[in-house]
Amino acid sequence: MNRSLLEAIHLARRSVDLCTGFFVPIRQEVKELARAARRGVALRLVLPSPVNDREVRAAGRADYGRLLKAGARIWEVGGAVLHAKFATIDGAWNSVGSSNMDRRSVVYNDEVDAIIFGGNTAAAARTLIEENIARSREVTLDTGHHRDLAAISHKLSPTACKKRARLLRSRLVFHPRSMSSYSSGGKPAPASHPSPFAAPRLRNL
């Protein structure tokens, strides 16, 4: 599932909406999300509110700054446990299942996920995203939540602090090898180009 989601984010042209119960992404997930936001894709992340473990919280928020600066919008759900795990991309590519965006889901856990192509499913997923956003608090660069990693550094040396965060994140790297929807030069087409997940293409699958 991780590879499929990364490829879908890599090919996104208009929008990426993602909801996950745990957010401690591996490095390549962060890179693909940031790249999507920088090329003009509307990136919305609905994530759980802070957990009690300060190190887990810090690891989860460690990438907020990078994503926010790239243009992503992030919400943290409050008042309830967020257990939903789904994504919808470009109004056509959808995933739902048990995988969180964390190392355990990629490496250790046995997960079950479904990939569904279709506008109706995408519309339903976007409705769920909007409902969760309505009861969430948006995180911005001004709120300072993305600096939580520094909040535990007074108890750890800078090196130890970084190592603790890395233990909760992954050093795995995903290399997209067969991306047919590149523009010339091996770079993704601009966001204004038609989505590779558009309906005319899907009808041929």
Place of tokens 């591996």: 26
Q: Tens of pLDDT along 155-205?
A: 444 455 455 555 555 443 444 444 433 333 445 444 444 555 544 344 333
In whole angstroms, what is the distance from residue 174 CA to residue 63 CA? 18
Give the homologous superfamily in CATH for domain 3-150: Endonuclease Chain A (3.30.870.10)
pLDDT (mean) for 93-115: 66
Domain boundaries defined on the chain: 3-150
pLDDT (mean) for 74-95: 83
